[in-house]
Amino acid sequence: MNAIIIFFAILLISISAYAQPTNNVASSEKPSSDTTEVTKEPAGKSGKVVVPPEKLRPIVIPITQSEILIDGRLDEPAWQTAAVFKDFYQTSPGDNTKPSRPTEAYVFYDEKHLYIGFKCWDERDKIRATVAKRDNVFGEDNVRVWLDTFNDQRRAYVLGFNPLGIQQDGIYTEGQGADFSVDIVMESKGVIEDWGWSVEVKIPFKSLRYTAGEGKLWGFNVARNIDRFNDEFNQWLPDDRDVSGFLIKHGKITGLDEIKYERTLEIVPSVTISQSGRRTRTIPRYQLTPGAVDPGRFVNEAVKPEFGLTMKYTLSPNITLDAAINPDFAEIEADAPVVTANQRFPIFFQEKRPFFLEGQEIFSSPLRVFYSRTIVDPDAAVKLTGKVGKTSFGFLAASDKAPGNYDEDDRNDPSVRPRVDEFLDKNAMFGVLRLKRDFGKENNIGFFATYRSFPEQKNTLASVDGRIKLNAKTTTTFQLVGTHSKRCFFETAFDANADTTQAQRNREICGGGTFGGVTQLGSPFNQYRVGNGIGYYANLDYSTDRHGYFIEVGGQSKDYRADSGFTRRTNTNFAFFFNRFSTKSEPKAAIIRASWAQFSGIDYDWSGRLQRFRAGTNVNLSLQRNTYVFLESAIVYDKLYEEEFGLKRLPTRPQGAFLGDPTRATWQQVVSGNINQTPHKRFNYGMFVGFINNAFDFDFGSSGPLNPGPGQQFDAEVWGEVKPTDPLRISLSYRKSRLVRNDNKRRAFDADIVSLRSTYQFSRFLFARMRLDYNSTRNNYAGQALFGWNPNPGTAFYVGYNDDFNYSGHSPFTGQFEPGFQRNGRTFFIRMSYLFRKSI
């Protein structure tokens, strides 16, 4: 509790210290047209935004035959003939007010490329820009362009550039936001001068997916972000905050009639050469007796080359075929460490592999019925994505060798080998089909089907989903899913003694439970059978500038399985309500904008039993100097049932998963707060503190019956990033999570996670990076040193070293304490790939 008081004291000091406006305008060179004045009244008393007539009409983009050198200076004659986009509006934090600095954008094209230029007037020494890696320009000044190449107001390319021309590219999907994991091939350069900065961009049309033809319209908008002015956002078009949606408010461009269509074949061969060492057992697992000590031994493996090939073929401007043969999916950037202690449900990790990132927005849905990371290590994969008319589609098939790739311990263990012989070196097969049909201005309805098979296990899923805009302020999203599975199910009420034939089959196929002996308490039988399940989701989203609410319901039945997707929990239903009130934005006030929200929710299983109830309130504050504060308080009622954790007690089996009562319940009081601030272009920081009274300790890790109980949970995190020079970034984060039980005052877990990252960017494409992660729960250290060259998506060269070791930790084989240094594994690798791109 003392830590909570200290945190809020620091919070108040920070607010008072940085709550003064700093928007001091200095003189700068003016553009040819005085863009510092808003020439049209952007908002009337009715609250409706008035768009100038000249911005409502499609802007004709001129064509040129001139050669353009991309040097960032916009000094070629062709720029004088470009379409000009000026008279911007400040849409955040201001509400369609005068921008702090003027901006102009210029657009023209030739047969093969789209050219975009920006001029951004500013004081040279106040511009925020560093030499950063691709997509890492958040928290800096930048410009952005949105290209709705199908003019469907549902999906658009979003391309951003900092003052040095560092690229940030992704896909913006209405209702989902921007995904910057997608990379496209393009050329850009920026320069900083005394009057401000400028950027030139050259985008090959073959890098885009679009509708071609005479008179076609594209959705279009451009914007500028000035970070030091409270993340000021200026757009070419005004933003009506009382109208939900983003792309519907954009303008149109036309005149792109002379695009020369090129069928493009991209081939990316890759090779990874690695040499690894790993710690292995000295005593076979099946010979290990309780209390035995196995120090293990370190084995250096032979140098191993791996070859891969990925291909992309554009069948038309709007249809793309991707294929991969033994693709090199080694992850250069590891997942960030997370606290796994006391985690009851699976943790979701973002996809990072290039093959799955292309067109991934088409495969998204509210219930995540497809999660590409379930395909762990594919031998081969193929994918077809595109849009024809109003119908978007995606098809994916893959063969994954990971499920049948058992380690040497399992292969040589006589107690395990008979159960895995049938699956040894077998592949899991995946198939995914996605269709989505647009109707009306902003509505769509879709169909999803997935299939996964592995010996003795099959899962099929079909789904219907949609998004409908009911009016300017309200949208609704829904999804209905049906699943059919023949697999092993988490069957808590199965009685092995009553059905010995099924018990034997369970053991042979699923490897769970025991037969003819004492059941291990807390570990349910996995029953091999057929099961059908349903999942559903629906929401209603109402949003205006000053008020909004959100209602959602959903659930998955007990036998719902999405083996190609991501599911946190089955046998559950939920309903949730969120209500928000916001103040009017005041860009020069100490509190720029404040929001107050109330929320409540309930979870219950399919027999109607209450699982969880929560209700609370939060406050969100936007302050000067890029300061954001969030405070929340809630009450929670949590109830546990032993069959969710293991065996259910029966008349013939009096002992279940829990020691003592088969159900547990507790009222919890939750309070938390965080602050994020970027007070200077050289550093930013944030911190979080949370406290839960009567949080459940789930008592994982014990080999005996579980005994969940309430305790006092404390969570805190501090993070920061420093940029001592333009090429160098250093970030450090510390996470603390601890739970002390009420009954015996013992610490159920006490986790400290420290992550250190440093990157030196020698140039836009050449970098060196180091990281070190520490996890106190295992006294584990994981580190990486990496040198890389990545001039464009597809072409790369990496040299790296990964290491994993414990210091005074516990043996991975016996769980016993081991003093001193113990290396678990290490890998040295060289990875090379090259993009061959040919127009056909």
pLDDT score recorded for residue 411:
75
Q: In the prediction, which pLDDT does 285 show?
A: 72
Q: What is the pLDDT of residue 44?
A: 34
Going by C-alpha positions, the residue among 8, 6, 1 that lies closest to residue 619 is 8
Distance CA 134, CA 186 (A): 12
Helix, strand, coil distribution of the chain in percent, nearest 5: 10, 50, 40
**Cα–Cα nearest to 754, from 788, 718, 730:** 718
DSSP 228: T
Query: Where would I find the H helices in 364-441?
Result: 408-412, 417-420
pLDDT at residue 405 in the model: 83
> What confidence score (pLDDT) does residue 340 get?
63
Query: CA dist 218 to 45, 82, 149, 316, 404, Å?
Result: 31, 17, 5, 17, 48
pTM surpassing 0.85? yes
**Strand positions, DSSP E, 301-389:** 304-316, 319-325, 378-388
Closest CA to 664 of 743, 569, 748: 743
Question: Is 498 in contact with 507 (CB distance < 8 Å)?
Answer: no
The β-bridge relationship of strands 836-839 and 304-316 is: unpaired
Give which of 293, 297, 294, 295 is closest to 278, Cα–Cα.
297
Q: What is the rounded CA–CA span in Å between residue 677 and residue 625?
A: 7
Ranges of residues in the chain with a pLDDT under 70 are 1-47, 286, 328-345, 415-416, 418-419, 511-525, 701-703
Bridge-partner residues for 656, per DSSP? none
With vertex at residue 618, the alpha carbon angle to CA 617 and CA 620, rounded to the nearest 5 degrees, is 160
Contact 383, 358 (CB under 8 A): yes
Preceding omega of 102 cis (within 30 degrees of 0): no
CATH-assigned architecture of domain 31-254: Sandwich (2.60)
The pLDDT, as a whole number, for residue 765 is: 93
Report how far residue 205's alpha carbon sits from residue 262's, in angstroms, rounded to the nearest whole number. 9
Indicate the domain borders of the chain: 31-254
User: Quick one: pLDDT at residue 261?
Assistant: 87
Integer Cα distance of 225 and 199 in angstroms: 14
